[in-house]
């Protein structure tokens, strides 16, 4: 019997802490589930900390950008004096037409203006008002249609046309 008890003691030394399938399942469960919950808890802790919002330095600016106006009303002075064709040209048109940029006819270039002048004043004026090719409506400016007409006459006449000065609008003439 002493041999048998020595074998049992010897076998006992070589076995692990898991002695049955239930203990094995519990060990697997706790070795994988517990770390997952620990990781989730740490992520929640790190992300929920009281941190200043990004760009908190310019908080007023960011708030005003988020609650900006949808539209606005702009009241213009209807009694302001109308600009001459030359003034409108210098303020708006000269950027491209002085140098012939983006395919625009250069100011005073008779050969570049000749085919455009043949289309007539109304066609040139509509192109200036609505835009054409790379030129935006009114060349991107903010002038009255009458002022744009004066600028068209100024540029076309410098290119060889003989268009008369446009007639003032009825509301302007009455004043």
Both tokens of 70, joined, read 């949808």
pLDDT band for position 51 (50/70/90)? low
Nearest to 166 by CA among 148, 140, 141, 142: 148
Question: What pLDDT, in 10s, does the model give residues 79-108?
Answer: 777 778 788 878 778 778 877 777 778 878
Which residue reads 């008002």 in tokens? Answer: 129
Residue of 92, 88, 120, 122 lying closest to 104 (CA atoms) = 92
When the pLDDT of each residue in the chain is averaged and rounded to a whole number, the result is: 76
Task: Dig out the tokens for 154 from the structure.
Answer: 């100024």
Whole-angstrom distance, CA of residue 156 vs CA of residue 124 = 9
pLDDT score of 173 more than 80: no
Spell out the domain ranges in the chain: 2-47, 85-174
At 5 the pLDDT is: 59
Cα distance between residue 126 and residue 120, in whole Å? 10
Q: Which fold has domain 85-174?
A: Cytochrome Bc1 Complex; Chain D, domain 2 (1.10.760)
Pick from 109, 103, 102: nearest CA to 155:
109
């Amino acid at each position: 019997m002493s041999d048998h008890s020595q074998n049992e003691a010897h076998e006992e030394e070589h076995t692990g802490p898991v002695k049955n399938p239930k203990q094995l399942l519990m060990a697997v469960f706790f070795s994988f589930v517990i770390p997952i919950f620990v990781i989730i808890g740490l992520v929640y802790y790190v992300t929920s900390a009281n941190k200043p919002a990004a760009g908190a330095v310019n908080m007023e600016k960011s708030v005003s950008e988020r609650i900006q106006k949808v539209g606005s009303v702009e009241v213009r002075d209807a009694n302001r004096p109308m600009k001459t064709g030359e003034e409108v040209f210098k303020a708006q048109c000269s950027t491209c037409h002085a140098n012939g940029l983006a395919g625009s006819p250069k100011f005073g270039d008779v050969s570049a203006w000749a085919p455009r002048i043949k289309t007539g004043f109304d066609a040139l004026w509509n192109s200036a008002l609505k835009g054409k090719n790379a030129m935006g409506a009114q060349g991107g400016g903010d002038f009255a249609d009458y002022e744009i007409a004066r600028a068209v006459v100024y540029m076309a006449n410098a290119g060889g046309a003989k268009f008369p000065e446009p007639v003032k609008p009825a509301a302007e003439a009455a004043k």
